[in-house]
Amino acid sequence: MRERKASASAARAGSTLQRLIGDRLGRRRALQWIGGLGLASIGAVAIARHDARTRELHDLSVIGDGTPVVVQVHDPSCPLCRRLMATTRDTLDDMPSIRYRVADLTSEDGRAFGDAHRAGKVTLLLFDRGGDLVGRVEGVTPADSLRRTFEERLAGPT
């Protein structure tokens, strides 16, 4: 009888041990799954923000709405275009009263915009507050030169 009780007690202890191990593994898996969901959520938010910024960056409807706009006629595969973009964005970081937009030549709307203004890639088009084209910069241009041009053509009384 004692052997039977000891055997039953050992079996219960074994099943309890298995439950504890199973629970721990189950919790670990659950935590990993929850962590994975968290990372996926962060990724989804980052993608959504990127998409929103991209839509805003390509929104040319702001031309003529009361704020000066610099529009880069841009081909994403062009190294010179990317250099001009980096310099332009850096320059405009210190000029918050001027908006920056992109007419992407790989899109139908961007191509139409470039054609309408007879502008090829590596070109900046400068629009005043009323939407009038007041300047054009062609080619990769140093930041100090861009700043002078933006100040002369776009900065003015607020």
Please give the chain's pLDDT, 158 residues, in tens.
Answer: 555 555 555 555 555 545 545 555 566 665 665 666 565 555 554 454 534 465 678 899 999 999 999 999 999 999 999 999 999 999 999 999 999 999 999 999 999 999 999 999 999 999 999 999 999 999 999 999 999 999 999 976 44
Instruction: Please choose, from the candidates 45, 65, 67, 47, the residue with its C-alpha nearest in 3D space to the C-alpha of residue 55.
Output: 47
Model pTM score: 0.67
Range of the domain at 2: 1-57
- Tell me, yes or no, whether 17 and 32 share the same domain: yes
- Tell me, yes or no, whether 36 and 22 share the same domain: yes
Domain count, the chain: 2
Dihedral of CA atoms 120, 124, 129, 135 in degrees, nearest 10, equals: -90
Look at residue 140 and tell me if it is in a domain: yes
What is the rounded distance in angstroms from the CA atom of residue 21 to the CA atom of residue 42?
Answer: 31
pLDDT of residue 7: 54
Look at residue 15 and tell me if it is in a domain: yes
Decide which of 57, 78, 104 is a domain's last residue: 57
